[in-house]
Structure 1
């Protein structure tokens, strides 16, 4: 089977899983040959608000960069978040391979557990006795956490802004080594797998594209 045929064969599964688990379960099929517009099928997209033609996520980029898919067929039950909706998700990813075992796609399942987390917190409060303190129950399932940006542009913006914010110094005041460390952090997350990433990072760090390419070369 060709890669297109393999991916097409998963489209009915996308709709099937979503229908079985109901409106609280979003299922997405990604084509990893086009990261900037990787979503080729999606069901129950009201959960993250993404659409066909949308881009890959930050977590998926890191999977590709780190080659996490080597030696395993899936990653199950990690945490996801939809910041704009304050929604907590339990997410899982199945790796789709071609006939040569190369990863060409991902089938991702995101289950909204927000109401369950809130119910758990309420039950914990009711069960408190004496001087007990409530256990922490306002978090999603175990890390790592995935951020569902609606587009490639927004994914780039959030990733770059987050790296700059963590560094604590505005780009105009950064030394070359500080900018290089930010480039290294973004590279480790797979951001430079996206088209246009070098241009956007250069603009945000107030550096030239040639400088960003030089940092990347020095970091390898």
Structure 2
């Protein structure tokens, strides 16, 4: 009963925030209890900001949460993210815990700053001020398949060369990054990753087990 009351309050809070901040503000509630990465979004307001809806899957922060110990988790406030079409968002993610301190939900706020950054750039140009480069933002995926693609792409970027030119050590580094990022929590991720890197699923487990 208390859990239902807490969730109802969070949904009301989400509606209040988007009413206050307008159509550029999205609020998302992810459910951590089911451990179903395909369907973590149980409430969303102004989903047009990231093109997501109720029943859609995990984002990077959900995957990261499930891949770490509860005591390591901390709220993240005012970090940058981006959408697939390149819009820049200011995001905050807050863990909602039960009476035992275990995280039950993630309450996420995403504010689309694209128009504001365009206006800021125009103002700086008029004032002849130097533009400050924007910090690289993490992309918000619309489903877990996109999330896995993002992680694979990031693993390749860290090596700095295409898979065709990677040595065994390079591939080991990629697999370790993906493991640390929680990629293997995604259903059937092993099949996609092994095919992408041209290795067997057995090799993946060997790479993870090799001592650093």
How many Å separate the matches in 2 of 1:197 and 1:17?
Answer: 36
Q: CA offsets, 1:33-52, max 9 Å, x none?
A: 32332111111011110121
What does residue 174 of structure 2 align with? 182
Q: CA offsets, 1:141-195, max 9 Å, x none?
A: x56x331111101111122133224424443443322211001122232222322
Change (3 A) 1:66 1:146: farther
How many Å separate the matches in 2 of 1:202 and 1:9?
Answer: 43
What does residue 43 of structure 1 align with? 45
Whether 1:135 and 2:130 are equivalent positions in the alignment is yes
SS in structure 2 at match of 1:101: coil
What does residue 25 of structure 1 align with? 25
Choose 194-203 or 57-66, whichever is displaced more: 57-66
**What root-mean-square deviation, in Å, do the aligned CA atoms of Structure 1 and Structure 2 show?**
2.5
Runs of 5+ consecutive residues of structure 2 not aligned to the other structure: none
Structure with bigger RCO (C-alpha 8 Å, 6+ apart): 1
How many Å separate the matches in 2 of 1:158 and 1:202?
Answer: 16
How many Å separate the matches in 1 of 2:45 and 2:211?
Answer: 40
How many Å separate the matches in 2 of 1:91 and 1:43?
Answer: 14
Change (3 A) 1:116 1:138: farther
How many Å separate the matches in 1 of 2:190 and 2:84?
Answer: 26
Runs of at least 4 residues of structure 1 off by over 6 A?
none
TM (norm. structure 1) is 0.83
TM-superposed deviation, 1:70: 3.7
What does residue 80 of structure 2 align with? 79
How many Å separate the matches in 2 of 1:123 and 1:173?
Answer: 45
TM-superposed deviation, 1:71: 6.8
Tell me, yes or no, if the aligned pair for 1:25 and 1:44 is still in contact at 8 Å.
yes
Runs of 5+ consecutive residues of structure 1 not aligned to the other structure: 129-133
SS in structure 2 at match of 1:37: coil
TM (norm. structure 2) is 0.85
Change (3 A) 1:78 1:206: same
Question: What is the number of residues matched between the two proteins?
Answer: 210
Change (3 A) 1:69 1:20: farther
Whether 1:112 and 2:112 are equivalent positions in the alignment is yes
Specify which of 57, 60, 63 is matched with residue 61 of structure 1. 63
